[in-house]
Amino acid sequence: VDPNIQYDMEKLQDTFPGFRQQYRLIKRIGEGTFSTVYKAEDLVYDQYDNSWDYDKENDKWAPPPLRTYGRNSNSSVTARPRRKPKYVAIKKIYVTSSPTRILNELDLLHDLRGCTSVCPLITAFRETDQVVAILPYFRHADFREYFRKMTPTDIAIYLRSLFTALESVHRHKILHRDIKPTNFLYDPSTKRGVLVDFGLAEREGSECKPCLCHEDPTTRRNRLRTAHLSSSVPHNGYPKQDTRPSRRANRAGTRGFRAPEVLFKCTEQTTKIDIWSAGVILLTILSKRFPFFNSADDVEAMIEIATIFGVKRMRQAGQLHGCMFETSIPTIGMQGFSFERIILWSTCRDTNVKMPEDEKLAVEFLSRCMDLDPARRISAEEALNHPFLQMGLE
Ligand code: ADP
Ligand code: MG
């Protein structure tokens, strides 16, 4: 065992009185920007199997037969059979996280208790500035190990589980903000998944500054019609003296998974940002490339998206939020490419050979998730009724 990890585990056990009596730390399973997660055994959980069984032969209910444990008669004990050990995930939130942020995560998880496919919160402890959250341990595989082998049906089952979680979260008017493979724990053998990590999540409408994308269609049409007449911005360039206030918006999330409206600094972001990120996961699986987007910053991210969608659609997407989109990069075309083409290229297939029907359906669903306009993008509820996710119903 790495001595640093061992040291951190000892320290954690010493922080909370009675910790060692309740949990046995096993190993570190995750280390992120905001927390370290450990696998542990819950020792206080009823270790003995109390369940009575119906004894057919004697026509009565009976407790499980006693069993003797231990090798020699001096030290052996006779007891009820032990249950399978119960494992938990202990999320140690870094003390550098702000108290409001920590409370926010626990508060949202509490609201979402009982939601299918969302990892429930068992309890949480605080000792001075250290907070730990206790979650049931969920066995899962590393995304990179299975995503290249998935058939369209496997993908539909995987996404059905992810969108079931998203539907619950969005029904509670909560934006997860960090949908990506490491935050959706999936077990390909049981075909079950749970959504974790509400560290960046927020309630819809937390930012109250209105964005143009929420104005009604007539007002928008009139604005766009007169925009080129009144604009002080030269048509083909950036203004020399830009006196406009700089835009600020929540940009939390992970590089490569940020929705276009996040990049355009929309101040009225909705749950649709999670749908875009789920779409990026689907694009990753279909193209068999991870990470699909690999930008270092928001400008590069915009260039990557523009390469697929083309200048024309990017301009329209920007206008929704009152932004201009201009580029002189030669590889960004006017029209962009279809997702079908992008996927055929990424998987080194002949673009003249037809795609199988079930994969085509997946691509059609992808285009609904990765719609540049958040208002037109499919919702989680609608997604569950889409023929592609219906394929995931066993
Ligand atoms: P962070 O904010 O540090 O990203 P997460 O909640 O995403 O924290 O957890 C980090 C990692 O720990 C996850 O990617 C996953 O591998 C592991 N993990 C988190 N919760 C669980 C759980 N309930 N069961 C099993 N592993 C988990
Ligand atoms: Mg995470």
Residue 193 is predicted with a pLDDT of 96
Average pLDDT of the chain, as a whole number: 90
One-letter identity of residue 253: G
Q: Which of 185-189, 231-235, 307-311, 376-380 has the lowest mean pLDDT?
A: 231-235
Residue 47 is predicted with a pLDDT of 63
Query: What is the pLDDT confidence band of residue 215, given thresholds at 50, 70 and 90?
Result: confident
Query: What is the pLDDT confidence band of residue 49, given thresholds at 50, 70 and 90?
Result: low
User: Ligand 1 pocket, 36 CB below 6 A?
Assistant: no
Q: From CA 325, how far away is CA 384, in angstroms rounded? A: 33
User: Ligand 1 pocket, 282 CB below 6 A?
Assistant: no
CA of 195, nearest ligand number: 1
User: Ligand 1 pocket, 276 CB below 6 A?
Assistant: no
Which one of 113, 196, 254 would you pick to mutate in the ligand 1 pocket, going by the greatest count of ligand atoms within 8 A of its CB? Answer: 196
Q: How far is the CA of 269 from the centre of ligand 2 (A)?
A: 21
Q: Whose CA is nearest to atom 27 of ligand 1?
A: 89
167: region left, alpha or beta (phi > 0 left; psi from -120 to 50 alpha): alpha
Q: What is the DSSP string of 80-122?
A: SPBPPP-EEEEEEE-TTS-HHHHHHHHHHHHHTTT-TTBPPP-
Residue 48 is predicted with a pLDDT of 65
CA of 140, nearest ligand number: 1
User: Ligand 1 pocket, 266 CB below 6 A?
Assistant: no
Residue 172 is predicted with a pLDDT of 97
Question: What residues are labeled active site?
Answer: 178
Q: Does residue 352 surpass a pLDDT of 60?
A: yes
Residue 249 is predicted with a pLDDT of 83
One-letter identity of residue 18: G
Arithmetic mean of pLDDT, 189-203: 95
Residue 238 is predicted with a pLDDT of 59
Q: How far is the CA of 90 from the centre of ligand 1 (A)?
A: 9
Q: How far is the CA of 139 from the centre of ligand 1 (A)?
A: 11
The rounded percent of the chain whose pLDDT value lies above 70 is 94
pLDDT in tens, 259-285: 999 999 999 999 999 999 999 999 999
| E strand or H helix at 169 | helix 152-171
The larger pLDDT score, comparing residue 359 to residue 249, is at: 359
User: Ligand 1 pocket, 201 CB below 6 A?
Assistant: no
Torsion of CA 182, 188, 193, 198, to 10 degrees: -10
Q: Whose CA is nearest to atom 14 of ligand 1?
A: 182
What was the ipTM of the complex prediction? 0.99
User: Ligand 1 pocket, 131 CB below 6 A?
Assistant: no
| Cα torsion angle, 163, 164, 170, 175, sign | negative
Q: From CA 175, how far away is CA 197, in angstroms rounded? A: 12
Residue 142 is predicted with a pLDDT of 97
Q: How far is the CA of 35 from the centre of ligand 1 (A)?
A: 9
Q: From CA 383, how far away is CA 389, in angstroms rounded? A: 7
Residue 219 is predicted with a pLDDT of 85
Outline where 259-394 has alpha helix (H): 260-263, 272-287, 298-320, 339-346, 357-369, 380-384, 387-390
User: Ligand 1 pocket, 91 CB below 6 A?
Assistant: yes
pTM for the model: 0.88
CA of 200, nearest ligand number: 1
Residue 119 is predicted with a pLDDT of 93
Q: From CA 5, how far away is CA 24, in angstroms rounded? A: 15
Q: How far is the CA of 372 from the centre of ligand 1 (A)?
A: 30
Query: What is the pLDDT confidence band of residue 309, given thresholds at 50, 70 and 90?
Result: very high
Using alpha carbons, list the distances in angstroms from residue 32 to 92, 103, 309. Answer: 10, 18, 32
Q: Whose CA is nearest to atom 23 of ligand 1?
A: 137
If DSSP states are collapsed to H, E and C, what string results for 262-290?
HHCCCCCCCCHHHHHHHHHHHHHHHHCCC
Residue 351 · residue 341 · CB < 8 Å: yes
Arithmetic mean of pLDDT, 228-237: 52
Arithmetic mean of pLDDT, 77-106: 89
